[in-house]
Amino acid sequence: MPSRPAPAACALFLFFALCFAATLRAAPWLEVDGDLPPHPQLRVGTLPNGMRYLILPNAQPKDRISLRLLVSVGSLHENDDELGLAHFVEHMAFRGTRKFPADSLTAALQRLGVGLGPDNTAFTSYDHTFYHLELPDASDATLREGLDVFREYAEGITFDATLLERERGVIASEQATRNTPHARSGEANMRFLWPTARAIRRPVGGEPATIRALKRDQFVAFYDAWYRPERMAVIVVGDIEPEAVARALEEELGRIAPRGPARLEPADLEAAAASSPDVAIFADPGLLGVVLSFEHPVPRPRVRDTLASRIPRLHEALAFNMLHRRLQSLAHQPGASYVSPQVSLLSGLRRWQVASISVSGKIDDWKQVASDVELEHRRAFQFGFTSQELAVARANLIAAHEHAVRTSATWPSSWIASQLQASVIDGQIFALPQVAQRDLADAIVRVTEVDCLEAFRRVWTGSAPHVFIAAHPAFKITRAEIAATLNKSRSREAIAYKEAANAATVFGYDRFGPTGKLLHVEHVADLDLRLAHFVNGVRLNHKQTAFEAETVMIRMRVGEGKLTQPPDRPGLDLLANISVTGGGVGRHSAQEMVPLLAGRALRVGFNVQSDACTFTARCAKRDLAFTLQVIAAHLSDAAFRTEVMRDARASFSSMYSGLTSSTGGMINLHAMRALTGDRRFGTPTADELFSRTIAEVKEWIAPQLTGGAIEMSVVGDVTWEEALAAVAETIGALPDRASRRVGNNVTAQPAKPPTKPKVILVPGGGAQGAIAWYWPMPSIADVHEERRCRLLAEVLKERCRVRLREELGAAYSTSAGFDEIHGFPSLSYCYIYAEVAPRHLDAAVRIFEQEASSLSREGVQEDEFLRVRQPFLRSRADDVRLNSYWAGTVLSDAQQYPERLEYARTRNTDSAAITRDDLSALARRYLAPANSFKFVAAPLPNRPASGSATEAGKAAR
């Protein structure tokens, strides 16, 4: 580990920090200790062998079970010659066990309907390892199959020597994929705050040299020492009968026994102290501009979870929330030096939190950025917060508690299982939301600005802040210069923050015209939905569901989207995505909207899609009318404020930073434009995007918002009468809308595939190479074929995943899919993508070639068809239980495309009727390698950035 710079240069500004003693030993599981009554249906127990269990019945979704296996071991438990071993053991659980040797486990679960990835995953942290299964039904037999898998993880991993060698490459591939500029920055920040902490010496992924050197006997010794029943906990949530589950747990897992002597918990499991305040600079060519953070590590020793201990945390949360909103407002004022402010108090290491104020800015503006952050931090520390700020924060917190209570009846089992997982690890009580609401209700009402100021000061008192800067290497400033700038800033007088005196207290839009009248309404009985048409041309589709209590989803298609985008103005859609809602409305800027939204549970977004502009919203049932008022205000009076360009440029710079610093990102920059031959698609160049203006956006989008065709869906826990009344007063009351044109661009054709792959060399592109193939599918006839294309893509992905993993020990991430471009049906395509080590690129290309050729010549094999079919069918059956499916897939354009209703009727039966021959026929028609666009990207890690990465850097600076 590199030595940390001495703090002498920063002594004028920064001084000593408090040190706290470490907790030396800890039991595997913390005892729950607090004064809240636990969830009355939660059953907690311990098997005779010491394994804990938590069982909670939950009917959402129906006939499903979520399982978690927690093992109290992570990278902190590794010896010096075992770095990365905890994570490697987790990988080997999928590689082979006594009952499921040689990778047969994944195939067995696939045949059961459990897909690798979304339903069958694992994760290793500093101090725990997690295994996750989502079962396809709630039968006793399926539950026991899932518990049988957990038993294999717990005591049956074989560590086959051949498979160990293959998995080393997969581990290296995963590490390389995650080795991003932002990840490197985060690691450097951790080293800055806790340079001697055990976690710094025990990164979860391990060290490459150690991973290469690990021997089989080390795996067995580590596994036997730490994978012990008393260090394990099982969570079962779902459509279950708790008594039957308890019996199954004892019968399936109760006989697991220790296989060897236990090891002692490391004495330095928790960091004893943070570093002294200092300034650190992390430079990386993958970063753009400069991000400056004020930070303060705060020790959080465990205390009994009582109301008395929760109230100070409440005051802290309110204080940090208020400062975050304040900085957001200041960042949007003319002349602001920074963008994207973030204020947080988050977990760092075990028993620590980090208070942080972070902003982004241009390198040339760094002095003003640093000075402004220092001033705002000092202003908050000296004067605290206003009554108006507290009123907004209090209202939002009360609304969050109320929304949790109203929606808890339909919380999904997978989410509840994740909360129970956190409860086990932290020793916190898992209570009903109404209990938590009552617990803090009085404290929320009584909290004062003084309470929040005192809490804010407690967090930051004890030392000056640590200052961490992450920047592009063009940032040539020294630590001493930064310290001098901050010292100079302290001479500026801080005055109490005052909000705008003329701030609106009432939303300025509540009437949009006479209440809308219906031309007709049709009730589709078999699907239990309604299709309505207003006199002004607006089309409304509605379905009442019970999937999410007290929650409504809105999806509105407006105008024609990219169908009318000028082809000579690429990037106009991306700027519109930010500026339509980011610019606010005529009577309120986006920041002026913040207090008007206080106490409401709603979220509104805007996006330009291929054949329409879309507003999407999710809101509490009680906020439906107000949410529609907000959307109607954007439709009738969008502001298109030019000041949104600061946020847009920051967002685009961040986007290009991510794309140009990775091989996969560079393929993304090239692929869609090459595939479609149309500059409206894919990612524009930096020069193209940064030349777009708000005036251009307004010229293109404003007519669509004010007069374009509208078809919308309202889906969720809302009756037809309630939805109709809210829409009639808002969207249905707008001036007349145009009719939607159908048929634009239907003759557009994909470009002709080149004869050779496009090779992209990426300066500073990390340690991974990337390959992607795209097959145009211009003649997909209907949804019947579209469903088969999606399953065919799963077959292709599974084939390539297995071969890349088995033959190369590579490809941590392999993905495939079918993308249908609405409005441009001839531009639809199938793709396959993988990341591998650069030395494996040629072999990976050969595998893609061989598997695509084999599929196109010989068709789909029976076993692979069965393995991908079951998770595919299970996923599609689950979709039908989601508001997002009905709002976005079926109803958002059901009147423009009436066939969508028939698609919904046949979705499950037609998907289940897909045959192997169907897929083979599609493969023969489309998947010949000669029909594909091929991209190969390789890193040039030791050369300076150039090209589009340089252009993006110029934009950031």
For residue 324, count CB atoms less than 10 angstroms from its CB and return exposed for 0-12, middle for 13-18, buried for 19 or more. middle
- Looking at the DSSP assignment, which residues form a beta bridge with residue 773? 832, 934
Report the alpha-carbon distance of residue 603 to residue 400 in Å, rounded: 13
At residue 11, the pLDDT reads 27
At residue 33, the pLDDT reads 83
Kindly state the tokens that stand for 613.
């502009």
Q: How far is CA 743 from CA 559, 740, 747, 856, 911, in A?
A: 14, 10, 9, 32, 28
Query: In whole angstroms, what separates CA 323 from the centre of its chain?
Result: 24
766 confidence band (pLDDT: 50, 70, 90): low
Are the C-beta atoms of residues 72 and 128 closer than 8 Å to each other? yes
At residue 23, the pLDDT reads 30
**Mean pLDDT over residues 519-535, rounded?**
97
Does residue 767 sit in helix, strand or coil? coil
**Mean pLDDT over residues 51-64, rounded?**
96
The four Cα atoms 849, 854, 856, 858 give a dihedral, to 10 degrees, of: 170
Report the alpha-carbon distance of residue 512 to residue 534 in Å, rounded: 14
Q: Which residues contact 29 (CB under 8 A, 6 or more apart)?
A: 52, 72, 233, 424, 427
Q: Say if residue 544's pLDDT is above 50.
A: yes
Q: Say if residue 379's pLDDT is above 90.
A: yes
φ and ψ at residue 531, rounded to 5 degrees: -120, 120
Which range (14-18, 752-756, 903-907) has the least confidence?
14-18
Report the alpha-carbon distance of residue 74 to residue 612 in Å, rounded: 48
Q: How far is CA 648 from CA 583, 654, 679, 692, in A?
A: 11, 10, 20, 11
Q: How many CB atoms lie within 10 A of CB 852?
A: 24
Q: Which residues contact 227 (CB under 8 A, 6 or more apart)?
A: 71, 73, 89, 154, 155, 157
- Of 387, 516, 404, 500, nearest to 448 by C-alpha is 387
| 377 vs 739 pLDDT, higher one | 377
**Mean pLDDT over residues 344-373, rounded?**
94
Report the alpha-carbon distance of residue 654 to residue 574 in Å, rounded: 13
Q: How many CA atoms lie within 13 A of 468 on its CB side?
A: 25
Give the strand order in the sheet containing 339-347.
279-283, 466-471, 290-299, 352-361, 339-347
At residue 25, the pLDDT reads 34
Report the alpha-carbon distance of residue 186 to residue 179 in Å, rounded: 11
Q: What is the rounded end-to-end Cα distance, in angstroms, of the chain? A: 31
At residue 750, the pLDDT reads 80
Are the C-beta atoms of residues 124 and 178 closer than 8 Å to each other? no
Report the alpha-carbon distance of residue 769 to residue 937 in Å, rounded: 6
Report the alpha-carbon distance of residue 308 to residue 776 in Å, rounded: 63
- For the chain, give the percent of residues with pLDDT over 90: 80
DSSP string, 614-673: EEEEEEEGGGHHHHHHHHHHHHHHB---TTHHHHHHHHHHHHHHHHHTSHHHHHHHHHHH
747 confidence band (pLDDT: 50, 70, 90): low
Q: How many CB atoms lie within 10 A of CB 520?
A: 8
Which range (369-378, 476-485, 648-657) has the least confidence?
648-657
**Mean pLDDT over residues 197-226, rounded?**
95
Report the alpha-carbon distance of residue 370 to residue 374 in Å, rounded: 6
Q: Which residue has the tokens 């489309």?
A: 926
Mean pLDDT of the chain: 91
Q: Which residue has the tokens 């030396």?
A: 24
Cα angle at 803 between 799 and 807, to 5 degrees?
175
719 confidence band (pLDDT: 50, 70, 90): very high
28 confidence band (pLDDT: 50, 70, 90): confident
Which range (432-436, 500-504, 887-891, 923-927) has the least confidence?
500-504
Q: What is the DSSP letter of 490?
A: T
Q: Which residue has the tokens 């470009």?
A: 751
Q: Say if residue 195's pLDDT is above 50.
A: yes
Query: In whole angstroms, what separates CA 78 from the centre of its chain?
Result: 29
DSSP string, 317-340: HHHHHHHHHHHHHHHTSTT-S-EE
Query: In whole angstroms, what separates CA 267 from the centre of its chain?
Result: 35
Q: What is the DSSP letter of 886?
A: I
**Mean pLDDT over residues 57-72, rounded?**
96
Angle between helices 841-858 and 783-808 in degrees, nearest 10: 140
Q: Say if residue 77's pLDDT is above 60.
A: yes
pLDDT, one tens digit per residue, over 552-595 is 999 999 999 999 999 999 999 999 999 999 999 999 999 999 99
The four Cα atoms 162, 164, 166, 172 give a dihedral, to 10 degrees, of: -160
pLDDT, one tens digit per residue, over 638-674 is 999 999 998 899 899 888 888 888 899 999 999 999 9
Q: How far is CA 701 from CA 440, 610, 638, 728, in A?
A: 46, 14, 10, 24
At residue 260, the pLDDT reads 92
The full 3-state SS of 98-152, as one line of letters, equals: CCCCCCHHHHHHHHHCCCECCCEEEEECCCCEEEEEEECCCCHHHHHHHHHHHHH
Cα angle at 153 between 148 and 159, to 5 degrees?
130
**Mean pLDDT over residues 529-551, rounded?**
97
Strands 52-57, 232-238: pairing kind:
parallel
Report the alpha-carbon distance of residue 399 to residue 646 in Å, rounded: 31
At residue 749, the pLDDT reads 76
Which range (409-418, 456-465, 746-755) has the least confidence?
746-755
The full 3-state SS of 575-615, as one line of letters, equals: HHHHHHHHCCECCECCCCHHHHCCCCCEEEEEEECCCCEEE
Q: How far is CA 145 from CA 49, 150, 476, 584, in A?
A: 20, 9, 59, 53
Report the alpha-carbon distance of residue 620 to residue 407 in Å, rounded: 9
pLDDT, one tens digit per residue, over 853-895 is 999 999 999 999 999 999 999 999 999 999 999 999 999 999 9
